[in-house]
Structure 1
Amino acid sequence: MTLRRRTVVTALGLTALVGALPATTPAAADGCPPVGDGGLQADVDAVAATGPVGVLAQVTTPHGTRTARAGTAVLGTALPVPWPSRARIGSTTKAFTATVALQLVGEGRLSLDDTVERWLPGLITGNGNDGRAITVRHLLQHTSGLYDYPEDAAGVPQLRTAEAFRTHRFRTYSAAELIAVALRHPPGFPPGTAFNYSTTGYQVISLIIEKATGESWERHVTRRILRPLGLRGTTAPGSDPLIHGPHPRGYRSFPDEPHPVDVTVCNQTLGGAGGALISTPAEVNSFLAALQRGDLLRPAEQAELHRSVATAGDVAEAWPGSRYGLGLMWTPSPHGGYWGHHGDTFGFHTRAATTPDGRRGFTLVWTGPGDEATEAAANTLAAHALTAEGGGGPEGGCGSRP
């Protein structure tokens, strides 16, 4: 759900346990040929060496597709991460939801200047929160000032302890419930005056989409994005706690457990329109490429997508110089920069981006722990993947496996 560095750090307790595992699963186990050390595989190995249980990455370039993996799909075994793995993509979901909202803007059914009060009278009120001052743009850009509900330990207990996770793992949340958690707190700032990453805004957007159209955000994502792009491995699971299809297990460390906890099976309504989707690296790459090419939005809405503000707090710390548009983040690099969206949720971490022209993209997924070293290795992989000279070129990865 979140894009924050501290979400990765909370899983540090796994590092020592997985350090004895082989960094790279033998590729020949399922027919994938060996690869050299100078391309994508070397970058994936570097990510794995920082502590994750399993790692999978796919890079798309004008020269083809490369895929590499490391670690293991199940902690304590040598089972490889499946090539066509599905994973919970957390806050990468926000890019899909924002695309739907912008399509509705292009159709004249919404305006970025519409207030929350216009669509949801009386929803945002109390403790200094005022839906009359918050616009659709503020919600999509994390400039609403609304409190980020996952930060509320009482409202979202399953993120804090293993006992609470086991108690609440199958609990279904409505968007209204999660918004109510956020409204226990005053806003961080007046709307439009600063940036603070808040999934609450995307819960509000989901209700606005439903009010404006009579259909849920999940139905719109499926009809407007997944079906036209042929993304059959991407799903909005609703209250279904399972990941259907091949996938690695997801793990999380908690302070009340000495060993990592398998958190793969859980109800992801906690993330909703801001963090619930399940997808594959190949399909995330396809979506981001189509979005950047202009296949999903009209020119006016495409321009709004990229109108950005400087990030702040944990986001700026993890990705210095980054800027946030409407459901997409710009990250500068020595070779120019890239657009994408990262996500961290129960046991799964996703890093995904594409060049401005959509011709080169990458999606990296790891399970289990991670820290600043993991982020640094992921950023190196991104820099190599998104430049013509780097990883994912003809010398790296695993052929053109999906």
Structure 2
Amino acid sequence: MDVKSYMQTVGKQAREASRVIARADTNQKNRALQAMAMAIRRDAAKLLEANMRDMEHARSSGYDTALLDRLQLTDRTIAGMADGLEQIAALPDPVGEIDGLKYRPSGIQVGKMRVPLGVIGIIYEARPNVTADAAGLCLKSGNAAILRGGSEALHSNQAVAACVREGLEAAGLPATVVQVIATTDRAAVGELITMKDYVDVIVPRGGKGLIERITGEARVPVIKHLHGNCHVYVDDRADLAKAVKIVENAKTQRYGTCNTAESLLVARGVAATVLPEIGKMLADKGVEMRCCPEALAILKDAGIAADKLKAATEQDWYEEYLGPIIAVKVVDDLDAAMTHINTHGSQHTDAIVTEDYGRARRFLREVDSASVVVNASTRFADGFEYGLGAEIGISTDKIHARGPVGLEGLTSQKWVVLGDGHVRG
């Protein structure tokens, strides 16, 4: 295959399809989404069979546990894909909304209309559910999509793509509104991220290496987050029972996600009381703790198994483990915790456990992250839990979109002016 020629064709088709989907009405887009969901439910067995082929290849290739976890489809995740598409259909259509329309002294009305970005290129690893989520979100927000999944999920992605195409055609929309790249050649990525004439924005979803490459080489704007070093800080005015519950969920509910807690900070005033309980819970779940000297001493004295304790290095405060490891540090107070987070964190998601309203408000204001959480798990930081229906990814950038990127994040605004023969004097 001539990859450059193939990608140019895909780009041209996407640009043409973007003009069709931009003018599609809400009912037509929703019909496509509902038809996609029906096809995914109907073809669940085919999706599982395709995924089994990918899983077997991934295991034989020696992929790590975190990637295998993201790659695997189950009856539950397939149902979740279909549910997500139906939830996107139920969401208000942002396209065409006009905000802030007001009269000016001249008599004209001025406001801002929400419009699609155009063509969105999405590059992702492992997760086949992204194929459905991305297709649905781009469609509802009036954008054409070019999806390039990883080679490890080739069969799964193509099986989901067949359901997507069926849904588009059922609603009378071109199949080229959502195109899933058919080649695993890495050169396709290089072409996609430099096609300024055809692609308006790139969204990478995957490991740090992939995102660093995309950010460094792209000639198209990128919406991204590099990694997720998420913190839970247990304040000395925390409800300690809440703290144990929140840390357990934030760290152990799933290890391979970007909103999993990778660092635990505990105020010195409660460290001797709460750390042994948290440490026992984490050790029982097989989590290794990489600790500052003070935390290490407290946990050793509490009888935590030595094989679950290790002295932290400086690098541990920055690390995204994506596995059963957590960095643990005792800090002086709220100010020390916020300084640590703002210095070592990834600006993704950080949480405080406290019963002090003033401290909670300070944490919300002063921690410079895309999502800041009070008395809840960091695992809530995703589009579904935020009511977005699904997400295209998480952005830790500060311009255009920040946090989970849903429908609104895939649109822009343009100024609109309404007059009735008005001319400027």
TM-score range, shorter chain: under 0.3
TM-score normalised according to structure 1 size: 0.22
TM-score normalised according to structure 2 size: 0.21
Which one has the bigger helix percentage? 2
> Which one has a bigger Cα radius of gyration?
2
Q: Larger relative contact order (C-alpha < 8 A, sep ≥ 6)?
A: 1
